[in-house]
Homo-oligomer: A and B are copies of this chain.
Amino acid sequence: MPKLPAKKTPKPRPDKTRLALGLTLIDVAKVAGVSPITVSRALSRPELVSEQTLEKVRRAVADVGYTPNMLAGGLASKQSKLVAVFVPTIAHSIFSDMVQTLMDQLGNAGYQSIIGVTGYSVEKEESLLGAILGRRPDAIVLTGTEHSALTRQRLVASGIPVVEAWDLCEDPIDILVGFSHSAVGKAVARHLLGRGYRRFAVVSVSDARAVKRSVGLVDELSVQGVTDVRQVIYPAPATLKEGRDGLSQLLREGTLPEVVVCSSDTVAQGVLAEAASRGLRVPEDVAVMGFGDLSSAAQLYPALSSVRLDGARIGSLIASTLLERLQKQRDGQAPVRIDTGFDVINRVST
């Protein structure tokens, strides 16, 4: 007789006011007059249950106010229905748009999202990943393709579907949904050269993707015979201050360029503000080029041109790509690589 005299305290459950969240499948099952597993099925796979028992269960669930415990469900099924989304910040519309759209569409498919704000730091990304992996997310969405060695390693070892967004690269971890920042830089160069500009300057922050754009720009300009491009670089994140300081710096160190290419709309707005306070006309005295989603305030400024992105569209693309991957849960390593593209547009005054 192995062990039996255990039933001393039958059930010391805190059965006081019977909080709604303390209810279990068993409670619902009793009320519905079925077995617990039937309740489980009725809730998660209704197609396996007859219409009438379904009805009984639904009624019971509503009556007692039952809310399934996803911690238990996740543990048993090994599916957390959670997606981790890492972004540098949610304070820029380009990212908040993406995040909102992504969360929304994943939500419609039954997935909740947990956001990690990395602040443009791979170290922060790494530590956040460590914390979030404990929740066993069903998928992870990252911004950019630069990660710490440990981050990459843990990601591939985890076997979790990973999306790297906002950039392209040769050796993605898994899925890639982005565009070439180098191509953006080159396109901007050609666009501005085509409009007759020859004296360029750059005001940029030093995040990985912004740097790629600057390099693309300078390379293309160089190919076309424009070689001395002054650059002012600040650490991320970008605020208006970087733009104002950037233009000031350029003026201090030399003559006014014909056009200032900025790493983002935020920086561009700073440049415009500084220009305005110095009585410089845009684009007559100095043209300004931005990069962003042309949303909210940015569209009010008379920046000459801009690279336009659609954060919501990118979020949508990520969602659909990911959901498809999550459907066929096989590790069918169909390498996915989506180029979202971008637009170079003119916007002259309001």
Contact = CB atoms under 8 A, between A and B. Distances in A.
Interface of A: 19-21, 65, 67-75, 80, 89-91, 93, 96-97, 99-100, 103-104, 107, 112-115, 117, 130-136, 154, 157-160, 239-240, 266, 269, 273, 276-277, 296-300, 350
Contacts of A134: 67-70, 73
Contacts of A19: 157-159
B240 A296 contact: yes
Contacts of A297: 240, 269, 296-298
5 closest Cβ contacts across the A-B interface?
A297-B297, A70-B134, A71-B74, A71-B75, A20-B157
Interface of A is mostly: helix
Contacts of A113: 114-115
Contacts of A71: 71, 74-75, 80, 135-136
Contact of A93 (B91, B136, B277): B91
Given A20-B154, A67-B134, 12 more contacts: A19-B159, A21-B159, A21-B160, A67-B133, A69-B134, A71-B136, A89-B100, A91-B100, A107-B131, A240-B297, A273-B300, A277-B350
Given A71-B80, A75-B71, A21 B136 contact: yes
A158 B70 contact: no
Q: Tell which of A69, A93, A99, A134 has the most Cβ of chain B within 10 Å.
A: A134
Contacts of A130: 67
Given A75-B71, A158-B20, A159-B21, A97 B91 contact: yes
